[in-house]
Amino acid sequence: MRILVTGGAGFLGSHLIDRLMTAGHEVICLDNFYTGNKRNILQWLDNHNFELIRHDITEPIRLEVDQIYHLACPASPVHYQYNPVKTVKTNVMGTLNMLGLAKRVKARFFLASTSEVYGDPDVHPQSEEYRGNVNPIGLRACYDEGKRIAETLAFDYYRQNKVDIRVVRIFNTYGPRMLENDGRVVSNFIVQALQGKPLTVYGDGSQTRSFCYASDLIEGFIRLMNSDYVGPVNIGNPGEYTILQLAEAVRDMINPNAEIIHEPLPSDDPRRRRPDITKAKTLLDWEPTVPLAEGLKLTVEDFRKRMGNAPI
C-alpha cells in the first residue's frame, strides 16, 4: 500500500514509519520539521519505497495514497504553547486539509488524538464514553480543544462524506528519539539526570500520568488502522504513577545522588490520568507489554548514545 504519514519525522511518526517500511509498504513522510528531525528517518532516505516531503499541513496538498496516518501536531506543552494560534491552525486547517485529501482519493484516515480531550478528568480511569473537562480558554486549549475539533471534523467527514476514519486517543507515550529539548516529563527527567542537574518536579508531584512505551503504542495504531472499528479507542498503559514516583525511578536508574526540586505547577495541569483500555483489549486484542522500568531503561540508553554521556 502507499501510506502517508503526516508528522512522520517526529517521535511517534518515525517509529510508525519504521514499522510500515519494514512491512514493505510505500511510505510518504510529510513534515514541516517544527519538532521533527531528519535524523529520525535518516535510515530510510535512500530507500526507493520512501519519500520525504517538507510541507506544512495548514496548506493543501495533492497526493495519491491508500492510507493516511495523521500525526502532524506538536505534542509537548512547551512546543504547542510556543505559538498557540499555529497549533490551532495545525489541528483545524491541517486536519481539514488531510481529511479533504482522504475524501478525494478515498484513503482510510487515521487521526492521532489524545487523552487531553478528557482535560482535567473528574472520572477515573477515563473510558471513551467520558466527555471530558476541558478549559476552552486556558493555555492548553490550543491543543486539547484543537484535538477535540479534529475529532469532530473526522466524525463529520465520516458521516457526511463517508470517509473511512479511525480515531485513537493516545495517552502519555515515551521512548527513544524524544528530543532532548522536548519538554515532556520523561525526557526532561532523563536529560536532567544525565547532565547531573536537579530533576524539576512541577507542583508537589502528586499528579499522576500513565506511561506507554512507543513500540506498544505503534502496535495499537497498526491494529486499529487495520480493524473495522472506527473509534475513538484509548491506547495507553494503565500503569499509573505520580510524577514524584517517576522522578525517583529515573533518578535511581541514572544517578541516585541527583537532587529533586519543585517548580510551580503550570495552570490547568491535569490532576490524574489513566486509560480504561477495555475497548482496545476486546476489539483489537491489544494491551501493553513493556513495563515502565524496562521502557525507561531502553529510553535512557538512547539518550546516552545521543548525548555522548558516559554512564554515571
List residues binding ligand NAD (CB under 6 A). 7, 9-13, 31-36, 56-58, 71-75, 90, 94, 112, 114, 170, 172-173
Binding mask 104-143 for ligand UDP (x = CB under 6 A): ----------------------------------------
Which of 180, 240, 268, 269 binds ligand UDP (CB under 6 A)? It is: 269
Residue range at the interface with ligand UDP (CB under 6 A); choices 4-12, 47-55, 126-134, 202-210: 202-210
Q: Is 79 in the site for ligand UDP (CB under 6 A)?
A: no
Residue range at the interface with ligand UDP (CB under 6 A); choices 60-68, 197-205, 222-230, 292-300: 197-205
- CA 165 → CA 126, 229, 243, 267, distances in Å? 22, 9, 34, 33
Minimum distance from residue 143 beta carbon to ligand UDP (Å): 8
Residue showing cell 470517509: 163
Residue range at the interface with ligand UDP (CB under 6 A); choices 21-29, 263-271, 277-285, 301-309: 263-271
Do you know the residue count of the chain? 312
In angstroms, the CA 58 to CA 60 distance is: 7
Set of cell numbers at residue 107 = 484513503
For residue 58, which of 96, 30, 28 has the smallest C-alpha distance? 96
Pairing of strands 233-235, 165-170: parallel
Set of cell numbers at residue 225 = 488502522
| Residue 243 interface partner, choices ligand UDP, ligand NAD, none, CB cut-off 5-8 Å depending on type | ligand UDP
Q: Is 207 in the site for ligand UDP (CB under 6 A)?
A: yes
Q: Is 254 in the site for ligand UDP (CB under 6 A)?
A: no
Catalytic residue among 34, 69, 118, 143: 143
For residue 112, which of 171, 156, 164, 55 has the smallest C-alpha distance? 171
Single-letter code of the amino acid located at 19: R
In angstroms, the CA 33 to CA 18 distance is: 18
Q: Is 200 in the site for ligand UDP (CB under 6 A)?
A: yes
Annotation says 130 is catalytic? no
Minimum distance from residue 259 beta carbon to ligand NAD (Å): 26
For residue 247, which of 236, 234, 261, 237 has the smallest C-alpha distance? 261
Nearby residues of 95 by Cβ (< 8 Å), 6 or more positions away: 57, 70, 111, 149, 150, 153, 154
Nearer to ligand NAD, 173 or 207 (CB): 173
Nearby residues of 207 by Cβ (< 8 Å), 6 or more positions away: 242, 243, 265, 269, 270, 271, 272
Minimum distance from residue 113 beta carbon to ligand NAD (Å): 7
Q: Which of residues 153-172 bind ligand UDP (CB under 6 A)?
A: 172
Set of cell numbers at residue 162 = 463517508
| Residue 27 interface partner, choices ligand NAD, ligand UDP, none, CB cut-off 5-8 Å depending on type | none
Minimum distance from residue 266 beta carbon to ligand UDP (Å): 6
Q: Which residues are catalytic?
A: 143
Residues within the interface to ligand UDP (CB under 6 A): 76-77, 172, 184-185, 188, 200-202, 207, 209, 243, 265-266, 269
